[in-house]
Structure 1
């Protein structure tokens, strides 16, 4: 199960989000993403912080323009980030390419783009993929735990690993959504976001 997850670019970025939307466990990504510090999302950072010191998410009020910018930029961003190895060190050339793409789609920088993606991911983590309704991250986690426990086909080792990850995620849930309007705007674009950001893992 772990080989599917690629924490290559940022803690809650599109690649992580894509896994969240396409795999058994969206919140497993949140749990693992909290343990995987950003590698490319902070060009000014000289060394990533230890896993226990992952930076706090800067919550913002999302706008339709930002959502549309993320949707438009996704293919260009993926074209760059998909080539970055999992163990890559920060590269100023790649950072410059990502900044250029972000600016092309109306963002101040790649960090600005990532802040928007992270806020979208935070909200999406609380959506039930079956009903496309916002139920909160804890409810999604509990539903996924029940789903995995009931899965008779999943190998025991994978089941144990997935359940451990999900239970760990329950102990350290994502922060509460400060801007409740973000739920409505992400709900409005839910299908497009799921489709566009889901392509990152295909």
Structure 2
């Protein structure tokens, strides 16, 4: 992933494109065979361009940059604390969860502890934190396909 300084226009473009991109994902646009399907690639390019991006690759890179920043936001406070701190809070929450089945809890803790060993890249463009924070609720709603379900 190439880190870029995000713009308000890019964030708004992502939000505008999300519904159409989600519909393409439902059609299998995120499958490994997607690149061989010229029609799907053309649709992805079209949606990205309609939202103001030069290409789907640019759109995808912006999504990656937004996701990198979002990973460091504490969902409870909606403040940026860093991805490692968020992960540590999630680990504590899972450990404290008395209703989670033991097998599921062990798997979740194993996964989160493994993620801790591979730290997220440092955010190079600190302005991205404020910009993503400004649109936090909209981005989480648009990018996380109802995690609360």
TM-score using structure 2 length: 0.92
In the aligned structure 2, how far is the partner of 1:77 from the partner of 1:129?
Answer: 24
Unaligned 5+ segments in structure 1 are 1-56
Larger radius of gyration: 2
TM-score using structure 1 length: 0.69
CA RMSD of aligned residues (A): 1.6
Q: Is the 8 A contact 1:132 1:187 kept in 2?
A: yes
Deviation at 1:199, TM superposition (A): 3.7
Structure 1 counterpart of 2:15: 71
List, as ranges, runs of 4+ consecutive aligned residues in structure 1 with deviation greater than 2 Å: 85-88, 198-202
Higher helix share: 2
Unaligned 5+ segments in structure 2 are none
Counterpart pick for 1:104 among 50, 54, 58: 50
Q: Is the 8 A contact 2:29 2:40 kept in 1?
A: no
CA-to-aligned-CA distance 1:82-115 (integer Å, 9 cap, x gap)? 2218754132221111011001111111111010
Number of equivalent positions:
146
In the aligned structure 1, how far is the partner of 2:80 from the partner of 2:51?
Answer: 28
Structure 2 counterpart of 1:155: 101
Instruction: Go from structure 1 to structure 2 and tell me whether the alpha carbon gap of 1:117 and 1:83 turns closer, same or farther (over 3 Å shift).
Output: same
